[in-house]
Amino acid sequence: MIKLVHIAVTGADALTLTFSDGSHAAWSAADLIARDTVMTRPLADPAYFARAFIDGGALAWPNGFELSADALHRRLAASGALTRPAA
């Protein structure tokens, strides 16, 4: 199972995500924030967005909103954004 092992805030709605398999990618939450739901609305505030943390290997925020590392990994791989470690 893929887990997040490190995150770094790189912008008002962007993070660099590092996964347990050594891969990493830049990720933007812009599309997620644009959904403007009760759970995603707080992420529009850059100070709140920057409070992201890893909880049990998942990406999380204090309001209880979580994103599965496995799902993030699959989406980033499918889009070609994931950088895998050299063999």
Over the stretch 33-52, which tens digit does the pLDDT of each residue have?
Answer: 999 999 999 999 999 999 99
Q: Is the dihedral of CA 13, 25, 76, 6 positive or negative?
A: negative
Give the homologous superfamily in CATH for domain 4-79: NE0471-like N-terminal domain (3.30.2020.10)
Q: What's the average model confidence in pLDDT over 1-14? A: 97
Q: Of all residues in the chain, what percent are helix, strand and coil, respectively (each to 5)?
A: 30, 30, 40
Q: What's the average model confidence in pLDDT over 64-71? A: 98
Beta bridge partners of 8: 16
Q: Give pLDDT, residue 29.
A: 97
Q: How many CB atoms lie within 10 A of CB 53?
A: 11
Dist CA 86 CA 7 (whole Å): 20
Q: Give pLDDT, residue 63.
A: 98
Split at pLDDT 50, 70, 90, the class of 87 is low
